[in-house]
């Protein structure tokens, strides 16, 4: 049971990454009215890493600035003891990585038009973030840095939402001391990022192209036998013919994909909006096969139910472990004059 003074009640654990774990919870609004939310908590082994914790809280503040239909909303930041949480919108569905894994297990590919539609929605989220300004109208120069299938959520209503803006800097820091945390993500780096050069909005365009390639072909573009090999592949940026792996891809769509994956940023689409426009033209004009959210939602619902069946036994054990641990969560004050505020000018994140 939840005491009246408690704002959030943890229900069950729904996921874990290299740096944080996510729980489904209920947020108490008014008496008799509750709202499902997702609580992202720093893993206990990282709770004492001050620099990572600062970056994690930076992500929270950035999330509070973002307000777009294709971006997971951040509502609040909480603390239970020494553990910090980000309180986010709960997306009832699956992530794109899970969806692609399920398609692979069934030896099927996503329909071409569905893949293009999902990529367009990702671009909408990214373009909004790339154009974000502060209250004075100064560009914040937000770059996601970590566009990959695990950070794309799909709901049973057919919504596509991007998550984890701002956490890549923390991932890079922690990877230096614990490489297993970001293992596998090197395959989504742009060439300039793989060389350690400055990244901008065009780097996110490139990463979106990698995700689209994976959706269309069912294969990773840069999947080396080791992280170092994946980095070398990302630096070389050699793109095999998508149509050789999936003949259903129209030539016009293949050309759009090739341009998004140009090794030289100057030769790519210069914005996610331009990339989305080219995809939309291919989707509705060249393909002539429009897709809608209801079709995507129906597929997501099937995959979600399959995954719930696989997780139910494990989830029951985890619930027993967390029932008493995660009960009382205190909201943090992010006001500019709040005592002990660990956050600074958000523009420092976007250089």
Which are the catalytic amino acids?
146
| Cα distances (Å, whole numbers) of residue 190 to 160, 205, 232 | 23, 9, 11
Helices (H), the chain: 50-65, 96-105, 112-130, 168-175, 191-194, 201-217, 227-236, 242-245, 251-260, 272-281, 293-322
Residue 97 tokens read as 């990585």
Q: Which residues, 6 or more positions from 287, have their beta carbon under 8 angstroms from its beta carbon?
A: 112, 113, 116, 250, 253
Question: Environment class of residue 179 by beta-carbon count within 10 Å: exposed (0-12), middle (13-18) or buried (19+)?
Answer: exposed
**Binding residue ranges for ATP:** 40
CA–CA distance, 28 with 2 (Å, rounded to integer): 9
Angle at 266 between CA 265 and CA 271, to 5 degrees: 75
Residue 205 tokens read as 């365009």
Angle at 196 between CA 193 and CA 198, to 5 degrees: 70
């Amino acid at each position: 049971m939840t005491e009246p003074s408690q704002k959030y009640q943890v229900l069950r654990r729904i996921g874990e990454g290299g740096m944080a774990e996510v729980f489904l919870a209920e947020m108490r609004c008014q008496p008799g009215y509750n709202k499902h939310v997702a609580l992202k908590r720093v893993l206990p082994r990282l709770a004492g890493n001050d620099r990572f914790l600062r970056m994690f809280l930076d992500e929270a503040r950035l999330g509070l600035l973002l307000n777009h239909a294709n971006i997971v909303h951040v509502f609040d930041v909480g603390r239970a003891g020494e553990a910090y949480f980000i309180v986010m919108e709960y997306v009832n569905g699956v992530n794109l990585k899970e969806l692609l894994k399920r398609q692979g297990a069934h030896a099927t590919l996503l329909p071409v038009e569905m893949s293009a539609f999902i990529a367009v929605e990702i671009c909408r989220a990214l373009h909004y973030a790339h154009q974000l300004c502060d209250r004075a109208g100064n560009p914040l120069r937000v770059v996601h840095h970590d566009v990959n299938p695990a950070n794309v959520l799909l709901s049973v209503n057919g919504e596509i939402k991007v998550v984890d803006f701002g956490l890549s800097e923390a991932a890079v820091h922690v990877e230096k001391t614990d490489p297993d945390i970001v293992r596998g993500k090197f395959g989504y780096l742009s060439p300039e990022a793989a060389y350690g050069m400055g990244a901008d909005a065009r780097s996110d365009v490139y990463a979106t192209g990698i995700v689209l390639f994976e959706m269309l072909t069912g294969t990773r573009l840069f999947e080396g036998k080791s992280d170092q090999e994946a980095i070398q592949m990302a630096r070389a940026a050699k793109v095999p013919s998508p149509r050789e792996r999936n003949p259903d891809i129209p030539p016009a769509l293949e050309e759009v994909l090739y341009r998004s994956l140009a090794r030289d940023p100057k030769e790519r689409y210069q914005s996610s909006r331009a990339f989305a426009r080219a995809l939309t033209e291919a989707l509705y004009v060249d393909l002539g096969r429009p897709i809608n959210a209801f079709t995507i939602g129906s597929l997501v619902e099937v995959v979600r139910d399959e995954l719930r069946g696989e997780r139910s036994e494990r989830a029951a054990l985890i619930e027993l472990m967390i029932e008493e641990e995660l009960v009382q969560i205190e909201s943090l004050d992010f006001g500019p004059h709040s005592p002990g505020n660990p956050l600074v000018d958000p523009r420092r994140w976007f250089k």
